[in-house]
A and B are shown apart, each in its own frame.
Chain A
Amino acid sequence: MHNIRKIGIRILLILAVLFLYQRGVEYLYRPHNETITFINKERREYDGEIETLICGTSTAQRGIDPEIIDKKMETVSFNTASSLQPLDGTYELIKDVTRNNPVETVILGIAPDIMMKREVDTKYKSRLYDRLQSPVSKFKYQLRGCSVDEWPYMMFYSARVEDYFAGESIRENINVKQSEEYKAGQIIESNYKAKGMIANKKKLKGEQPDVLTQGESEFSADKVKAHNLESLVEIAEYCSDNQIELILVYIPLPGKKIQSYGDITTIHDYFTEFAKKHDALFWDFNYHKELKTLFTNDKFEDTKHLNRNGAEVFSEQLADMYYRYHTGENIEEDFLDTCPYYVASEAVGEKDE
């Protein structure tokens, strides 16, 4: 007994020191403009109200603007997508948000590359981990999605700090954090837009190639890793069990990227089948009849992500489609039988504006 008390006190002491230390390190080293701080704060403010949840990888994080969704779909939405978000993490995240919120719709931006990935880097897992708010969700994800060796990185900010001696940036960081604007909740210098969305003003400069070329990350059903498919099924089943509408969207890509996936038809067919089998919706915007006119180069930040303008356009299209779908209109007419970039009638060599 005496031993247990002795040990217990010491363990508490260690935890207390670690906790205080982490707080100190975060104050000094966590960048004042790090988006996760704003995202978590804002989500807590909307606790109990979120009806539409947006998740997925960086394409969803940058492509879907909750403010437009809110206005057009007359809902309260939040974007919890993050870079290379692993699907088992997305599953935990959906459960985490649903715990305290009356979620009715989940919009999941599908990512063929994530489906084929065996494991994502610890850094990306931590971005997902930071978005989980309840300790139960955090612990569950640690057990399920992280190896034990990754736990210190997840739990301790001090393990993530890359440069302890960056004097200049520490000073700047502290200065900002002590300023009145920051204390009042103003966001200083960040790509953060609102409600979880990251939006960049950068525009793609490249030309879209005219000739189809085979890329490296060619998608096929046998390249999909079993555990990823399992997580996707779990998401679908969870939504179905909880009367949540699951909408899988394939966010538009610039022509160049579409071609790097080899055959976009494979992707389309795969997710169409999945959606049918699991009672979900799948809207493939890369088959949208106006893909080439709506999503030109200037709507993209790079060869994968929509920029601020592109996100506006896409979010409007998405919200519009949702509205029309729920008022009984036939949205199938918005989609072609194949990707507009594959339409054979257009001569090879013709350049798009």
Chain B
Amino acid sequence: MNVNSFSFVVFVAILVLVYYAPVIRKFQWIVLLVASYLFYALNGAENMAYIMITTVVTYLGARLLDGKNVSQEQFIKEQKGVLPKQEIKEYKEKIKKQKYRITLVCIVINLGLLIFLKYGSFLAGNAGKLFNHKEWSELSIFHLAVPLGISYYTLMCIGYLLDVSKGKCRSEKNLLKTALFVSYFPQITQGPIGRFPDLASQLFGTHKFTYENLAYGCQKMLWGFFKKMVIADRMKPMVDTIFDNYQNYGGFTILLGCMYFSIQLYADFSGYMDIVSGCSSMLGIRLAENFRRPFFAKSLDEYWRRWHMTLSAWFRDYVFYPLSISKAAVKVGRVAKKIFPMRISKLAPSIFAMLVVWFCTGLWHDASWRYMFWGLYNGVIIIASMCLKPQFAWCKEKLLIKEGKIWKLFQMLRTFVIISLLKVFPLAATTGDSLAMIKKIFLSFPTEISVASLLPGMGVEDLFCVIVGLIIFMCISLRQEKEPMHEWLSRRPFVVRWGMYMILLLFIVSFGVFGTEATGGFEYAQY
């Protein structure tokens, strides 16, 4: 059952009816748990063991950590003023080490499962090449099906463990409630990567039915379906045409293809986000936003604060910060002081942490060298722009460039082209292909401009849908920069609002590519 399918709509409709039935009241969270596991089962029952293992490990780990926190607090309360400060400090150090061990074990198990299932064949393949055992990569144990959402729920669990360890929240006493947090179905396929402190009270509380929640949820889901089925899936044939046979196309077409893919991916992923957050809103649970008009970003750094926000926030809070203030980073800083000027050496710990984060981010997407390159390229560009800030400012001054609408537009277009160029890595089938594509983009010049070279594989109907869809999308995005869409909508008269909804709905039932395995798969579900 895909999220963008009609069966999902029926599933949600039935769930909403059951969820708000008066007899259910206090047990709404149980309904959600059952629904989440049902959803998971409908997407591959044999894999349920893995999510259960992760849930149990996380639950136990969190309980233990919470226990340590509580005993530490108790100890300090009782012994303050009684024991010397040094002893209290030693006690705290001991507890810290114990918590560290517990967290490490849990993370190793959870991450280990993820690495084994997702990266097993990649690692075996490379190890095999190294040790001259090519058959290692073919072993069936490395080709088990990857469970649904493992990349997402594993990160959520690790985040939860670290939050409990930090004392940011208490652990959940109920194993089943923990299971709900881990498996909550709107976020299981492709995120958003939620945090326990934000979700707990919402998931486990009681929610009264409000018409506003239902209306808002339906609006969002409708918009999400439109983006996915009418825009993204209609662009897919063209993007596939170019990249399945990139050898037959010129560099300019490939560059255009990258840009089309950026748009397609955005419509796809943000469409999914709207469907699931709309569905969740109907249940009274607000999920974190994953997008904030990313194409309005003026730099690559800002782009990553507007695109897949929960992922970059997760890496920032749980990898970047701890790493950048760690002993290793301090060492890097000391070494850098000896080599680089003051300004750069001060940034050295950040740069070190940033490279690790980007390496991991690339790896998180896929077990392949091209994704690692992709990650590192992102990191290098961001670091370079950081280090060269004064130089850029100097250039700007010399070229007499003024801050204004035109400059902002230039920055946005520049960012868009950079992120599009980086798309060769996900689009290519192999690392070699991606390098070949880059070469083509920069070296081969267009000899002819024709419809076939600008819009290969694009039918009239596809073009119509994409153009109309993108115009609507652009208008909505521009409006959203000023205020949330549903607020603007609520001020319009009934006829205007419902006119718009009906147009979207009719577009979907006419032009929508209905979710089948062939086209309905979401791009980010593969991660």
Residues on A close to B: CB < 8 A?
3, 6-7, 13-14, 17-18, 21, 25, 147-149, 151-153, 156, 158-159, 161, 163-165
Contact = CB atoms under 8 A, between A and B. Distances in A.
A149 B6 contact: yes
B510 A149 contact: no
Interface centre among A6, A13, A149, A158 (most CB of B within 10 A): A149
Given A149-B5, A149-B515, A164-B511, A158 B461 contact: no
Contacts of B436: none
Contacts of B214: 7
A3 B211 contact: yes
Given A149-B6, A159-B514, 14 more contacts: A7-B214, A18-B505, A18-B506, A21-B506, A25-B510, A148-B5, A148-B7, A152-B6, A152-B509, A158-B510, A159-B509, A159-B512, A161-B510, A164-B461
Nearest to A151: B6
Nearest to A161: B510
Given A7-B211, A149-B6, A158-B510, A165 B502 contact: no
Contacts of B83: none
B209 A3 contact: yes
Nearest to A148: B7
A131 B505 CA distance: 27
Interface in B172-216: 209, 211, 214
B461 A163 contact: yes
A17 B506 contact: yes
A153 to B, nearest CB: 7
Nearest to A167: B460
A21 B505 CA distance: 11
- Interface residues of chain B: helix, strand, loop or mixed (majority): helix
A159 B516 CA distance: 14
Nearest to B502: A17
A165 B514 contact: no
Contacts of B512: 159
B406 interface: no
A11 B511 CA distance: 22
Contacts, number: 51
Nearest to B510: A158
Interface in B480-527: 498, 502, 505-506, 509-512, 514-516
Contacts of B464: 164-165
9 contacts: A3-B209, A7-B211, A7-B214, A18-B509, A148-B7, A149-B6, A158-B509, A158-B510, A164-B464
B10 interface: yes
A242 B464 CA distance: 54
The 3 A-B pairs with the shortest beta carbon distances in the complex, nearest first, are: A148-B7, A158-B510, A165-B460
A158 B514 CA distance: 12
Contacts of A149: 5-7, 514-516
Given A18-B509, A158-B506, A165 B516 contact: no
Contacts of A148: 5-7, 10
Interface centre among A147, A152, A165 (most CB of B within 10 A): A152
A151 B515 CA distance: 12
Contacts of B7: 147-149
A11 B209 CA distance: 17
Given A149-B516, A152-B6, A159 B209 contact: no
Contacts of B6: 148-149, 151-152
A14 B505 contact: yes
A14 B222 CA distance: 13
Interface string B42-83: 000000000000000000000000000000000000000000
B211 A152 contact: no
A3 B210 CA distance: 8
Nearest to B498: A13
Contacts of A153: 514
Given A149-B5, A164-B461, A156 B514 contact: no
A152 B460 contact: no
A148 B209 CA distance: 27
A15 to B, nearest CB: 11
Interface centre among B7, B502, B509, B516 (most CB of A within 10 A): B509
A5 B350 CA distance: 58
Interface string B209-253: 101001000000000000000000000000000000000000000
Contacts of B211: 3, 6-7
A13 B498 CA distance: 9
A165 B505 CA distance: 19
A309 to B, nearest CB: 41
A19 B403 CA distance: 53
Contacts of A147: 7
Contacts of B5: 148-149
Nearest to A152: B6
Interface in B1-25: 5-7, 10
Contacts of B511: 164
Nearest to A155: B509
Contacts of B505: 14, 17-18
Contacts of A21: 506, 509
Nearest to A147: B7
A317 to B, nearest CB: 43
A21 B504 CA distance: 13
Given A18-B509, A159-B509, A163-B461, A152 B514 contact: yes
Nearest to B9: A148
Nearest to B463: A165
A154 B515 CA distance: 14
A39 B214 CA distance: 43
Contacts of A13: 498
Interface in B283-310: none
Nearest to A21: B506
Nearest to A153: B514
A152 B520 CA distance: 15
B293 to A, nearest CB: 29
A197 B506 CA distance: 35
Given A13-B498, A152-B6, A165 B461 contact: yes
A124 B86 CA distance: 81
A151 B8 CA distance: 12
Interface centre among B5, B6, B211, B214 (most CB of A within 10 A): B6
A158 B505 CA distance: 11
B96 to A, nearest CB: 52
A151 B13 CA distance: 15
A9 to B, nearest CB: 11
Contacts of B10: 148
B209 A164 contact: no
Nearest to A22: B509
A151 B7 CA distance: 9
Contacts of B498: 13
A322 B442 CA distance: 78
B8 to A, nearest CB: 9
B458 to A, nearest CB: 13
Contacts of B510: 25, 158-159, 161, 164
Nearest to B465: A164
Contacts of A163: 460-461
Interface centre among B10, B506, B515 (most CB of A within 10 A): B506
Contacts of A18: 505-506, 509
Contacts of A6: 211
A30 to B, nearest CB: 14
Nearest to A14: B505
A14 B508 CA distance: 13
Nearest to B514: A152
Contacts of A17: 502, 505-506
Nearest to B209: A3
Nearest to A162: B461
Nearest to B515: A149
A161 B498 CA distance: 25
A289 to B, nearest CB: 48
B450 to A, nearest CB: 20
